[in-house]
Structures are given as structure tokens and as C-alpha cells.
Amino acid sequence: MHDVAAAAGVSLATASRVLGGSSRRVAPEYERKVLAAAASLRYVSDLSARAMRRETDTVALVADDLTTPSIGLVVAAMERQARTVGAFVTVSSTRGTPERQYETVRTLCAFRPRALVLTSARILAQSAGGRLLDELLAYQQQGGRVVIFGVTDMPFDSISVDDRGSARLMGEHVAATGHRRVVVLAGARDRMNVSSRTSGFVEGLLAGGLDIQDIRIENCEVSRQGGLDAVRLLLERGLGDTDAIVAANDLIAIGALTALRAAGVDVPARLSLTGFDDIPLAEDLTPRLTTIALPLADIGAESIRMALAPSPGGPVRQTVGGTLVVRESTVSR
């Protein structure tokens, strides 16, 4: 703030009133000078003093997308676990872009939360040109704790899902129940978690005796609408002898089921349908959805336990797998 005051040609008290949001009025001319200097110097208010005066500990969660049911389960579990030790969770969304991850973390660090939890399909050391890693390391050196839920090469504690191995279970099950012409709704190519699931599906199907030419991969948006649009297009082209649709997550499967039902295609009599994640809605569908259940609530709770525990001295890596849940959306052929 001293630099901002000097650059603006005003007193430190005046700069403090402008940047600190004081109720005391500052002449518009001086306010403009202070704000221009702050922007030129890329000044970020240090909110640590106010943060440290708070009696309640804060864990800041940085997530790609807060609108999905799966992240909702994680966040709810995190909040429950945090409250058992008098802490609370704040949540920010970045849409999965490295630059927004960096900017969000940079801003949050000014508030000095007790811990940061980042959740994304992949968080790499070179994200945002390495600036994200630098920001997290600086935060950790000041006593903060960092935990990552997702695949990472950063030197922090992390929890990841074995998407590929879990998806292989589904591929093996679909093959073992007699399905021989399978469409995989693979989601977006640039999403690491669904790409890993697609690889696992294919591995399981091949291990179960299918030929590679009998497996058709269709990319789509990772959403209910993505599944709906992909199956509508599939129906326009003709189902042929397709006897199963394997979706990269439950939301895609729900969209697929909507399109199939609208077209009069019976699930599972005409073809089987599967998902991945086991969100609560999966059990409420008709037919109930065969899927891979991930321990999302356990992951959320464990993330908080790791974040609020003393540092173990080196990065702890945990990997969790999914469980096959067979319901009425699949039958044997």
C-alpha cells in the first residue's frame, strides 16, 4: 500500500481509506489517482488481518463446476466434516480453466484460509504457466494446507479416483451379460476423467470378448443435454444392432434415457443402458440405472480431514475405486 500511496502522490492514510473501503469520504480526484495506481501496480488488498480476527476456521474449496450432482455430494460431505471441528467451507467455481484456477487461488490466499482444497479432473504443475503451483507453494510456506481431489503432479496431498479401473468393471459386466454391439457415450475429449473412463470401458469390453469394430465411441458434452443430443443423432443414423449404450457419467445416461424413451425405444428390452458416479437420481429413474458407484461423500470428508490435519511431511497420495451397482437398466442377452 505504501507503493500505491507513493505512486498516487497521496498519504498512506488516504490510500488506505480508498482501498480499504472506509466510510470516510475521499476527494474524487484523489480516489481516481489511488485506484489508477493500484491497477497499475496490480495491488491486491491483504485481507489476512481481518481473516485472522475471525474465530471460525475456513477451508476454501476451488472446484471446476458447482452445478453437477457429484460435486454437490462432495461439498455436502465436506461441510458436515468441517463443522465437526468448528470449521466451515467456502466454495468457488473456475469452470476448469487454468487461468481462472490461478486467479481464484490468488484471491483466496489473500483471505488466508486455514486450508485450500482444489478439485478438478487434472491439476498439473505447469497450469497457468507454473503460476498456480508457485501461488500454492507460497501459501503452504506461510502455514496453509493444500489438498487436491483429482489427478496431479503437484507436491501436495491428494485423493484421486481410479476412473480407468472402475470403468473396466462396467465394460466387463456389459460383455459378460451377452452384449456384443456397444456404443460408448464418451463425453468430451479434453476431460481427463471421462477419457480415462472411456479407455476402461473399452478395455473391459475387449477383455469380455468383443471385437474392437463392435465398439463405437461417440463424444458429447458432459451433461444431460449432451447425452440427449448424442442419442438423438444416433437414432437419426439408426441403432442397427446396438444392444447397449455405456455412458461416461450418470447425467449423460439420463439424457440418453430421455431420448430413447421419446423415440419409443425400450430400455432394457431393446438395449441396455449404464452410467457412472451413482448420483442419487440414478436410483429414482425408471428403470433404475446400472452404474459405477463412487464414494463421493467419503472423498469429501477425507479431503477435509487431510486439510485440517498437521502436515505429514511429504505428499500423501490416495486412490479410490468405484463399485459396480447392477440395476434394472441392464439385462442379459
For residue 253 the three cell numbers come to 445416461
Q: Are strands 323-325 and 291-293 parallel, antiparallel or unpaired?
A: antiparallel
Non-local CB neighbours of 281 within 8 Å, separated by 6+ positions: 69, 250, 254
**Cis ω before 280 (30° cut-off from 0):** no
Q: Tell me how far CA of residue 141 lies from CA of 136, 138, 145, 297, in angstroms.
A: 9, 5, 9, 30
Residue 183 pairs in a beta bridge with 216, 245
Q: Are 273 and 245 in contact (CB under 8 A)?
A: yes
DSSP reduced 3-state for 133: helix
Confidence at residue 54, expressed as pLDDT on a 0 to 100 scale: 45
The pLDDT value recorded for residue 22 is: 57
Q: Which of 2, 61, 39, 46 is nearest to 142 (CA)?
A: 46
Task: Look up the pTM and report it.
Answer: 0.80
Give the pLDDT confidence score for residue 23 in this predicted structure.
56
Q: Are 329 and 272 in contact (CB under 8 A)?
A: yes
Cell of 271: 438395449
Question: What cell was used for 44?
Answer: 491486491
What per-residue confidence (pLDDT) applies to 277?
Answer: 96
Give dist(CA 75, CA 69) in Å, integer. Answer: 10
How many angstroms separate the CA atoms of 270 and 241, rounded?
10
Helices (H) and strands (E) counted in the chain, each on its own, are: 12, 12
Report the length, in residues, of the chain.
333
Q: Where are the beta strands (DSSP E) in 202-264?
A: 215-219, 244-247
- Note down pLDDT in tens along the chain; length 333 residues: 778 788 889 887 887 777 765 556 788 888 888 888 877 777 765 545 544 444 348 999 999 888 888 888 999 999 999 999 888 899 999 888 889 999 999 999 888 889 999 998 788 898 888 999 999 999 998 889 999 999 899 999 999 999 999 999 999 999 999 999 999 999 998 888 999 999 999 999 999 999 999 999 999 999 999 999 999 999 999 999 999 999 999 999 999 999 999 999 999 999 999 999 999 999 999 999 999 999 999 999 999 999 999 888 889 999 999 999 999 999 999
Please name the amino acid found at residue 206. L
> At 279, phi and psi to the nearest 5?
-70, 160
Q: Which pLDDT belongs to residue 40?
A: 79
How far CA 240 is from CA of 16, 173, 253, 285, 319, in Å, comes to 71, 22, 19, 25, 39
Cross-strand pairs, 246 = 184, 274
Cell (9 digits) for 117 = 482444497
Q: Which residues are paired to 93 by β-bridges?
A: 63
Q: Which of 175, 182, 255 is nearest to 222 (CA)?
A: 255
Whether cis (ω within 30° of 0) applies to the bond prior to 268 is yes
Cβ neighbors of 64 (< 8 A, separation 6 or more) are: 71, 93, 94, 95, 96, 119, 120, 121
